[in-house]
Structures are given as C-alpha cells and as structure tokens.
Structure 1
Amino acid sequence: DQGFSIEGRIPDPMEQTDENERLSIQEAIQYMKLEPGQPIKGTKIDVAFLGSCTNGRLSDFREVAKYLKGHKVSPDVKAIAVPGSQIVDAIARQEGLDKIFSDAGFEWRAAGCSMCLAMN
C-alpha cells in the first residue's frame, strides 16, 4: 500500500521494520526523485490519474469533480480519468462529470484496465 493523504509526507523507508516494505518505498521515492519527509501537498507532478477497475468508483469522480470545477490542469500535467466500469461511465456522463473533467483538462477515457497495466 503506497497510498497516503495529500496532507501527509513522503514516508521514510528507514522507519519501516519490514525489509520488503522498506525496499519498496525506497525504490518508489528514488524513481520519483522525492525525499523522505517531504510534504505531499505542493509537490510538482507531471501525471494525474484517477480511475481503473479498482479505483474508479462513481463516488471518486464525484468527489474530485467538486475540486475541479472552475480549475484547469497545468499544461505541464497529463491528466487522465478512467471510470471503473461501463456503468460508472454511463452514470458519470449523465451527471455531467465527464464534462467537468474535460473542461478542467483531463482526458476522459473508456472504462476498463488502464495505467496499472500500462493500458488505455
């Protein structure tokens, strides 16, 4: 599990007692060129992704849409939204969520497997 709150900080691998977890965190922060203890909020990104079959619930899109209204993704950021299923996609479109995401600069893509499998 490498998820954490936007209000949190980059974890310190040396604080992990499990060697596999420590190595996993160490590889991730080196790959992303981050520093342990660095605040998450304010960290520059070049890709924003919301979705996939495991993290593309309608509630996820509704929540993010609240923050996207009236905002634009930086031109330096590739932003992608992928509903978790065709049902989520259909309801999100009925509610206009796809338009909110598109207006903010996200690519609204077809439901299904996505970035976690290097697809879509």
Structure 2
Amino acid sequence: MESTETDVSREGPVRLLSAVALGAVAIASLRKRKRLLALLSGAGAVALGYTATAGDTSAEQAPRTSSIEPTSEREGMRCAACGEPIVVGQGRQPNDEGDTVHDACLE
C-alpha cells in the first residue's frame, strides 16, 4: 500500500475551502429565504471549518491508548489461574483480583 502523506497534507486546506463554499451557500440561501438549506449548509460550514482548524488530530497521527490486553501467545497473555496462554477467540474475563482468566477457570 502506498503512503498517503500527500493526501493527509491536503486534507486541511480542502476542508477549509469546503467550509468557505458551504458558508457562501448558506448566505445565498438566507437571501433567497430558504431557511432549511441555509441552516444545513451553515452547520456543515461550521463543522468543516472546525475540523480544518482544530489541528492535526487524524486517526493516523493520534497516539493509540488502549486498555485491551494482547491476546496472542507470542505477546504473552496468560491465564492468571492456570497459567495457560489465552488465544484469540477464547472466552476470558477478569477475576475478583482484576487478573485475566479463562471463563472455564473462573468457575
């Protein structure tokens, strides 16, 4: 898959131009007394303008913080009760102490 660095760098200006265009549509709609169209395009202009100027917080650039534990044996997730590895798809949940155990080990 190719890098999308140029797409990300163009994202802000494109959103800003779209916000300006929607703002112009909102003003023109108000002059023609089309209130619903003016309201919707004005809301779109505000939303696009906000996302264009809010900074670089796209999903690719935002830091990932996850409270989900790894589920593969390679990464070392093991049952706190029996010590066996917990594999992807196995039922698991925290016990009374907050440690992850197999559903079968919890009973």
Q: Which has the higher helix share?
A: 2
Q: Which has the higher strand share?
A: 1
The structure whose Rg is larger is 2
**What TM-score comes out, normalization by structure 1 length?**
0.24
| Structure number with higher relative contact order (C-alpha < 8 Å, ≥ 6 residues apart) | 1
